[in-house]
Structure 1
Amino acid sequence: MNTPHADAPAVRLTGGTAALGGRAVLRGVDLAVAPGEVVALLGANGSGKSTLVRSLVGLVPLSGGRIDLFGTPYGKFKDWSRIGYVPQRTTAAAGVPANVREVVASGRLTRRHMFHLGRDDRTAVDDALDAVGMRDRAGDGVADLSGGQQQRVLIARALARRPDLLIMDEPMAGVDLASQEVLADTLRRQKEQGRAVLLVLHELGPLEPLIDRAVVLRDGCVCHDGPPPQALGQHALPGHDHVHPHADDHTTSGLLT
């Protein structure tokens, strides 16, 4: 994790604005995650959470503001292997015609390294499968797995990159208790190893002890950045006004390569 900007946040968004379908979704958002820090991004449906993390990995263009990755302006950043991205499971895992190992191994592929995985790559894949307890299912088809197991595969694919920044969009959604515990253990190890973690969550749940800071969005703006709310659920979020939009953020499928 050597870098000429050793003291810089793993990711910093300054004054971020974005629109989808002509509708403003992010309105001047500031966000930073330091190495070794686990930050939860909270908010009601439609508050801009998924749009924010997707903008950080280049899937949604910003209309204004600035992103710096490890102290480097976004447009000059090249070392994308330092970032692991776990999209929402429904957009990336269901129906994938590949086995578990193939999906996890895809996390090691780059534009310069597309068709051959070396010994270090294979070791990284095995380590990632071990980390999420899925090595014994490596030859199984992803489409045959439970929702929680599919989520573990997506997390393993991101971990196979050995990232310094791990971004997860709703990793707990529709996940069984066993997979929640695996996720909590995985995140604990990432934190101990000094990695930065940004999580989109509806509520903290079993991850609460691992969360260093909570950033709460409301209508595309940050309404809280500080200690996690003590109570769980949408009603406990700062700025909650008891209006419950039912439409999720507009999302499109995509993977970080």
Structure 2
Amino acid sequence: MDEAGTEPVISLRKVSAELGARPVLRGIDLTVGRGEVVALLGANGSGKSTAVRSIIGQVPVSSGTIELFGTPRQSFRDWARLGYVPQRTTASGGVPSTVAEVVSSGRLSRTRFGAFRAADREAVRRALEQVGMADRAKDSAGALSGGQQQRVLIARALVAEPELLIMDEPMAGVDLGSQEVLARTLRGQVEAGTTVLLVLHELGPLEPLIDRAVVLRDGCVLHDGPPPRALGQHALPGHDHVHPHAPAGTGPIRTGLLS
């Protein structure tokens, strides 16, 4: 097997995409190597979520190519190798379900919709333990707090034991305790060799895990390299803002790695 970072798990070449008639991705290139942890950063509307949704096939591309594990996405069938956590939503999806039932649904790609076996039930238990929700297995998913529901969604992605984990804003709107649990869970996945692509508003507690940051602006890649050290939008490469203490008549002060 190739060393981490040398074998492409995700490859986007000159990918463009539109939502309605509005261009959202404008010819982006993005490669994620095996074992890498890559953060997609950028302001709201920069194209981060559209990029990951194009990777999993939820958004059609108007031009360019996408490959997963070296296979063109349109030909890719081994979806058990990929775990996906969408932007924060209710874990039950409006259908009355227990926590264990929600997580079990993520195992269907492994069972091929057949009967659950002991190994499958053990995988569900283990995934719930990883996110600190094993004691809530029989509870209604709809009765959980936002942070707990996010943990359940992550357990649902982990239960198939994916090689690639894609997470869209996993820390958004969850409490500090849940953020710490999620960071610890992700650290375990990274140590086990899982490749990770994260959409983040800021790095937060995940910062120590990030190998590379790809910053998008207006659907284009603005920066691909070491993650910004500071947090928040003011830390993003190419961010323009006017400081209230700037001398009168000066223009915006550009901050970030590309200044």
| TM-score, structure 1 normalization | 0.88
The higher relative CO (CA closer than 8 Å, separation ≥ 6) is in 1
2:216 paired residue number:
217
- What CA deviation, in whole Å up to 9, does each residue of 1:108-132 have, x standing for no partner? 1139722521222111111111110
Q: How much does 1:241 deviate?
A: 2.9
| Separation of aligned partners in 1, 2:219 and 2:71 | 25
- What CA deviation, in whole Å up to 9, does each residue of 1:71-93 have, x standing for no partner? 11212221110000000122655
1:105 pairs with 2:111: no
User: Residues 18 and 242 of structure 1: is their aligned pair in 2 closer, same or farther, counting only changes over 3 Å?
Assistant: farther
Q: How do residues 1-257 of structure 1 correspond to structure 2 at under 5 angstroms?
A: 8-90=7-89, 93=92, 95-110=94-109, 113-242=112-241
Identical counterparts, % of pairs: 70
| Separation of aligned partners in 2, 1:126 and 1:152 | 13
> Secondary structure at 2:240's aligned position in 1?
coil
User: Residues 91 and 102 of structure 1: is their aligned pair in 2 closer, same or farther, counting only changes over 3 Å?
Assistant: closer
User: Residues 66 and 91 of structure 1: is their aligned pair in 2 closer, same or farther, counting only changes over 3 Å?
Assistant: farther
Bigger drift between 69-78 and 33-42 goes to 69-78
> Secondary structure at 1:44's aligned position in 2?
coil
| Separation of aligned partners in 1, 2:57 and 2:28 | 16
Asked if 2 retains the 8 angstrom alpha-carbon contact of 1:26 and 1:48, the reply is yes
Bigger drift between 95-104 and 173-182 goes to 95-104
1:248 paired residue number:
none
- What CA deviation, in whole Å up to 9, does each residue of 1:205-228 have, x standing for no partner? 111111110000000000000000
Mark the runs of 5 or more structure 1 residues left unpaired by the alignment: 244-257
User: Residues 222 and 151 of structure 1: is their aligned pair in 2 closer, same or farther, counting only changes over 3 Å?
Assistant: same
User: Residues 94 and 176 of structure 1: is their aligned pair in 2 closer, same or farther, counting only changes over 3 Å?
Assistant: farther
Bigger drift between 17-26 and 174-183 goes to 174-183
User: Residues 219 and 91 of structure 1: is their aligned pair in 2 closer, same or farther, counting only changes over 3 Å?
Assistant: farther
> Secondary structure at 2:166's aligned position in 1?
strand
> Secondary structure at 1:150's aligned position in 2?
helix
Asked if 2 retains the 8 angstrom alpha-carbon contact of 1:148 and 1:174, the reply is yes
- For the pair shown, the structure with the greater C-alpha radius of gyration is 2
Asked if 2 retains the 8 angstrom alpha-carbon contact of 1:11 and 1:32, the reply is yes
| Separation of aligned partners in 2, 1:24 and 1:111 | 36
| Separation of aligned partners in 1, 2:156 and 2:111 | 18
| Separation of aligned partners in 1, 2:20 and 2:51 | 15
Asked if 1 retains the 8 angstrom alpha-carbon contact of 2:91 and 2:152, the reply is no
| Separation of aligned partners in 2, 1:114 and 1:34 | 31
User: Residues 112 and 36 of structure 1: is their aligned pair in 2 closer, same or farther, counting only changes over 3 Å?
Assistant: closer
> Secondary structure at 1:241's aligned position in 2?
strand
User: Residues 226 and 7 of structure 1: is their aligned pair in 2 closer, same or farther, counting only changes over 3 Å?
Assistant: closer
Q: CA RMSD in A?
A: 1.9
| Separation of aligned partners in 1, 2:87 and 2:155 | 14
The one-letter code matched in structure 2 to 1:185 is R
Aligned length: 240
Q: Which runs of 4+ in 1 moved over 6 A?
A: none
| TM-score, structure 2 normalization | 0.88
